[in-house]
Structure 1
Amino acid sequence: MRNLIALLVLMLSALSQASPLPTVPAAKTANASAATLLSVTWAGERTVAVGDHGVVLLSDDRGQHFRQATSVPVSTPLTGVSFVDARQGWAVGHWGAILVTRDGGENWQVQRLSSAEDRPLFAVHFFNPTQGVAVGLWSLVLTTDDGGKTWIEQKIDAPPGASRADLNLMGLFADGAGHLYATAERGQLLRSDDQGKHWRYLDTGYSGTLWTGAVLGDGSLLVGGQRGTLLHSSADGSNWQRVPLQSKSSVTAIDVSGRAVIAVGLDGLMVRSDDGGSSFHEQPSSDGVSLTAILLNGDTSPILFSRRGVVPQR
């Protein structure tokens, strides 16, 4: 339960911590790299990480050094980020915020903000410069076909055995064929084959929350969640098998580069495969800091992020 509470603090607690004035711009601070960071991606060769207090960090030397973005129009938590090229990207967060950048993350503008209720968005994925999907609290799914100028809320069916669709949708990942997956509560993984308009449920056989996932090189699926849960399945989302871990710390992020696969989590959890996911070995961090995001360099060395900010590279 301690791991669950810790991760809820990282990704859900801003319901109570979110600013009542969400349009206050993020402050420029000398210690921005120490903010809790929740999502990271590549913008071309640039590393872009987002997190608490509207912090956006940029690195042009593959994670060796970071600087804060020039302008971010909100100071509430940002929980997801997606880029389609070196310049154009989107970030999402609390108060249903969706931000866009067209200069590689230096400056951001608001595309969507809900001041009526704080219904956070937890993840965003863009397939191309026009088609994107954002997901969040209580089965909130938003789609756009015009680069975010307009966002449409999509109604989804209730999960099996439930009367309504109220699962929190925690993460998004896609394969090269355009299939999009959303990790969710109650061991559910949702799949869309039409850019987020319609979804079907894939039951993993697990009953806890799934926080993150990735498609491996052979097309198979890997998802991670509470209590050291790491599950591997065939490409069609059937035949789920648990990857045995000694740790019971929650898995928070997964990244894949070629045959290298790394999953990270709370209490310094780090699990690595160098054979495309056929086998894994644990190599936890020595300081036990809770890891929240990861990005693999071309040499498969990890750029790590935590609730204490950027993790210095070894």
Structure 2
Amino acid sequence: MRKKTVGTRKLLFLICVCVLLATSVAVGQEQTSPDWNSHDFSFRVLNIMSTGQLLWVCGTDETVAVSSDNGAHWQVKHQKVDGALLLNIDFADSKFGYATGTGGLILATVDGGETWVPHSGTSETILQASFADLQHGLVRTPTSLLFTVDGGLHWTAVSVGQNEEDIKHFPYTFSLVALDGVHMAAMLKEGAAQYESQAFVFTQDSGKSWNLLNIPNVTLYSFLRSEARYWAVGTEVIHKDQPGGGYAVPVALYSSDGQKWNHSTSDLSGCKLEMCTVCNTRGCFSSNGVISRVFLEKPTYSAFPATKELTTKWASTDFTVCFVGSNLYCAALKELAQAPSSAGSPVPTVVAPGPLGAPIPQGPRCIVCGVDRIFIDKKAQGAYTIKLVLGVGKNGTVTSVEAQGAPTPEVKRRIEQQTQQWIFEPYLKDGAPINVKLNTTVSVNVIKPR
């Protein structure tokens, strides 16, 4: 009888261990894959880019840091404790780079990032920016789309003259590109998400005049500068005159002036399964787990570990890919001989800043607050209003978030993941920044997969 009791206890112990292991795996699935290495900094990373084999990050405390060993070690190049939040960082070439952020701050480097010097900025936070050189640039603030041709001494609003009413149909600035001292452009959207219709506003004379351009039959997900050209990547509807009204195929367009656009002849087969989105100069996500380098004459492909935590803020070298989430995460890349033949996991959706001309809200002001408006989930369908309970730190970053009223745990997780990336203007009391708790709501639509 005792042997049976001992055996029963052993069996119960094994069952408990199995349950614990199963629970650990389930919880682990909600975390970033162990194939990703997280990096701890004394500041919070807010954005990332790469130039050559260097990775650059920017963030709180007015910090700029660089890694020359694929993200293993980082060297701070500029920092000011309790300084501005740097929201964006980029390089126009190997020597000239810039970082922009709250308070209209613009930092620039002309020595490849060794030193960063403040330059004339705007009076408002800079949400998006693109500079061709130290003199010529284009920025988006909460209220305006501005350009400069004298290094920021003067800022002028982009105006398309007689097309001013037309531009009001596209109030969301999706992406800005200052190509050179003469050519600058912005891709505008009807709505905040990448799948909305778009138009380009561009200048060919250093901002003396601006023109509006619609390219028919395309939906463009990314607009950027690569190899001294404008590039736009998305989908194009072809054979519209045939029964069924045509179908969408991947498209990559390039232009030297913003007015005349050409179709890339590169092989875009890697974009057919999930489409190529969230592009930067190193390539595009063709799925959650694959980078397609569509800007090369002969595209190449790299695989990385798929993760639910993936965001639109990413950069890569030849060997590593990193993204900014609740932390900075990096993983090794594996070269692929050809594009994958089966669809992978979906990639995150790029969301533009709030619309131009929107009223300025009272209280804490969210300056980066994008969230998907459409979610795909096989367990729910319909329109939902989600209550968000947020904790916002003194520096304006979100320290805690709870989404209440989400229809499924997965939708709740994704909304919380996205709102963790929100950034607010630091809220002041008696002239000093303080921590605040906020309640707000977002409206989303959930649809079931086909």
What's the TM-score once normalised by structure 1's chain length? 0.62
In structure 2, what is the equivalent of residue 6 of structure 1? none
Matched, 1:273 2:293: yes
Q: Note the alpha carbon deviations across 1:93-122, whole angstroms, 9 max, x for none.
A: 2343323346625554353252xxx55331
Q: Residues 180 and 113 of structure 1: is their aligned pair in 2 closer, same or farther, counting only changes over 3 Å? A: closer
CA–CA distance in 2 between the matches of 1:80 and 1:176? 18
In structure 2, what is the equivalent of residue 79 of structure 1? 88
1:65 positional shift: 2.1
CA–CA distance in 2 between the matches of 1:176 and 1:144? 11
Q: Residues 178 and 208 of structure 1: is their aligned pair in 2 closer, same or farther, counting only changes over 3 Å? A: same
CA–CA distance in 2 between the matches of 1:39 and 1:196? 29
**Match for residue 40 of structure 2 among 26, 31, 54:** 31
**Match for residue 153 of structure 1 among 151, 156, 164:** 156
Matched, 1:312 2:330: yes
Are 2:178 and 2:184, in contact at CA under 8 Å, matched by a contact in 1?
yes
In structure 2, what is the equivalent of residue 18 of structure 1? none
Are 2:292 and 2:301, in contact at CA under 8 Å, matched by a contact in 1?
yes
In structure 1, what is the equivalent of residue 14 of structure 2? none
AA aligned opposite 1:254: N
1:125 positional shift: 1.4
In structure 1, what is the equivalent of residue 285 of structure 2? 264
CA–CA distance in 2 between the matches of 1:199 and 1:290? 36
Matched, 1:122 2:128: yes
CA–CA distance in 1 between the matches of 2:262 and 2:214? 8
Q: Residues 81 and 162 of structure 1: is their aligned pair in 2 closer, same or farther, counting only changes over 3 Å? A: same
CA–CA distance in 1 between the matches of 2:144 and 2:219? 16
Q: Percent identity?
A: 16
Q: Residues 204 and 296 of structure 1: is their aligned pair in 2 closer, same or farther, counting only changes over 3 Å? A: farther
AA aligned opposite 1:221: W
What is the root-mean-square deviation of aligned Cα atoms in Å? 4.4
CA–CA distance in 2 between the matches of 1:230 and 1:54? 39
1:92 positional shift: 1.5
**Match for residue 281 of structure 2 among 250, 255, 260:** 255
AA aligned opposite 2:296: G
Q: Note the alpha carbon deviations across 1:148-187, whole angstroms, 9 max, x for none.
A: 4x13223322768636486333433455896433233231
Are 2:89 and 2:97, in contact at CA under 8 Å, matched by a contact in 1?
no
Alignment of 1:190-205 (within 5 A): 190-205=201-216
**Match for residue 48 of structure 1 among 49, 56, 79:** 56
Counting matched residue pairs gives 265
AA aligned opposite 2:209: H
In structure 2, what is the equivalent of residue 292 of structure 1? 312
CA–CA distance in 1 between the matches of 2:164 and 2:251? 20
Unmatched runs of 5 consecutive residues or more in structure 1: 1-29, 257-261
Matched, 1:237 2:261: yes
Q: Residues 176 and 36 of structure 1: is their aligned pair in 2 closer, same or farther, counting only changes over 3 Å? A: same
Q: Note the alpha carbon deviations across 1:165-219, whole angstroms, 9 max, x for none.
A: 86333433455896433233231233332344533233244797855424469x5
Q: Radius of gyration: which is bigger?
A: 2
Are 1:245 and 1:282, in contact at CA under 8 Å, matched by a contact in 2?
no
CA–CA distance in 2 between the matches of 1:310 and 1:98? 23
In structure 2, what is the equivalent of residue 16 of structure 1? none
**Bigger shift: residues 200-209 or 183-192:** 200-209
Unmatched runs of 5 consecutive residues or more in structure 2: 1-38, 191-197, 236-248, 333-450
1:254 positional shift: 1.6
Are 1:98 and 1:112, in contact at CA under 8 Å, matched by a contact in 2?
yes
User: SS in structure 1 opposite 2:296?
Assistant: coil
